[in-house]
Structure 1
């Protein structure tokens, strides 16, 4: 493939279902521009200490890379440096011109006061285009069990988290709430991003008791193995 536009695409992924979405976006852009594609993941632990679930994701990312003739998978394990530093280093080494990564929406004020990986990358590699893929506002729900997703937030409340629809200073997480249909209670699924990974957690009466990711297909009754 001839790199007509002199572009190189870098997709930064972390463990979770959102990684597939990011890679597909990167593949689409790379194919349009006839550009090489790099898939990068970073982990603070050595590769030998990763659990089975993480290894499964890594194998899937390698398969994506192998299925694209111009793609290459890069893993940086046993890393203690800031993520933005590592991404910038890989970008320079591979002449990257466009980077794709996922991030939940933050207010402009939060970015200014707290900083973010996006701001760090802009400072580190100012001449690289950044594509931010946000949390999807829909779920595959053919049975109509859930209403259309709306913006919501989680507030720490003791050991639990309280669901709210107004942003506050003490907001812990921002995401999308999918309410169960035909109920007056705030029951459903809250989708958000944590450490660059997309999570789905159960909400019961407006309360999240634990930030444990639930299998979205099982929750929606889409798992064919469940009878």
Structure 2
């Protein structure tokens, strides 16, 4: 069972799940735990969901959405795994600073503590560039231009304070959907672009 959340890592995790299910000859499940408290439409969220459903369908997997409804995400994951008699779980994990490790309980450790006779596969997702070639076109120099309270993707440095970066266009879409990479504090940061508009806070 592959656990996916909203972001560009879902496709990579699902592809890893397809490889594992084929290797051990087991059915594949893709789980999304919905933590939203309402049914408000979210364009970026729907974009990712559409891609995940398509990948799951192509792989012959069952795509599941479970509402968190005030419960812990780990409890929902374990509940779904037991229901489907899952033996392997795949999750993504970003690198944490030492301070984050000290002040926030580790999601992976909490999940392991609740699992029984289930193998956990943790895929590192902090190295974004390593998996981009599987899901996005080669990056091109682009700009984020501010219009009112929003930022829009542009080929030209228009406006007063355009933000320069690299845009990685998502494969299999005609719209300007993808990731915009900027350098922040000496590290690469990837921002989500949906139909040409920035959906992440700067």
Task: Report what 1:172 is aligned to.
Answer: none
Task: Report what 1:54 is aligned to.
Answer: 45
CA displacement 1:155-205 (0-9 Å, x = unmatched)? xxxxxxxxxxxxxxxxxxxxxxxxxxxxxxxx978xxxxxxxxx865226x
Kindly report which structure 2 residues correspond to 1:1-227, keeping only aligned pairs within 5 A, or say none. 10-45=1-36, 48-69=39-60, 71-77=61-67, 79-106=69-96, 111=101, 114-134=104-124, 135-136=126-127, 138=129, 202-203=182-183, 206=185, 213-215=191-193
CA displacement 1:55-106 (0-9 Å, x = unmatched)? 222222111221123x100001362211111101111111111110111124
Contact 2:68 2:76 in 1 (8 A): no
**Distance (Å, rounded) in 1 between the aligned partners of 2:33 and 2:139:** 38
In structure 2, relative to structure 1, the CA distance for the partners of 1:93 and 1:112 (3 Å cut) is farther
**Distance (Å, rounded) in 1 between the aligned partners of 2:182 and 2:28:** 36
Q: Which runs of 5+ in 1 are unaligned?
A: 1-9, 146-186, 190-198, 219-227
In structure 2, relative to structure 1, the CA distance for the partners of 1:88 and 1:56 (3 Å cut) is same
Report how many residues are paired.
153
Q: Which runs of 5+ in 2 are unaligned?
A: 142-163, 167-178, 197-202
Q: Give the CA deviation at 1:213.
A: 1.3
In structure 2, relative to structure 1, the CA distance for the partners of 1:144 and 1:55 (3 Å cut) is closer
Runs of 4+ in 1 over 4 A off after TM superposition: 107-113, 139-145
**Distance (Å, rounded) in 2 between the aligned partners of 1:212 and 1:114:** 23
**Distance (Å, rounded) in 1 between the aligned partners of 2:7 and 2:181:** 13
SS at match of 1:213: strand
**Distance (Å, rounded) in 2 between the aligned partners of 1:213 and 1:143:** 13
**Distance (Å, rounded) in 2 between the aligned partners of 1:61 and 1:143:** 22
**Distance (Å, rounded) in 2 between the aligned partners of 1:137 and 1:57:** 16
In structure 2, relative to structure 1, the CA distance for the partners of 1:207 and 1:142 (3 Å cut) is closer
SS at match of 2:78: helix
CA RMSD of aligned residues (A): 3.4
Q: Give the CA deviation at 1:30.
A: 0.4
Q: Give the CA deviation at 1:125.
A: 0.7
Contact 1:22 1:101 in 2 (8 A): yes
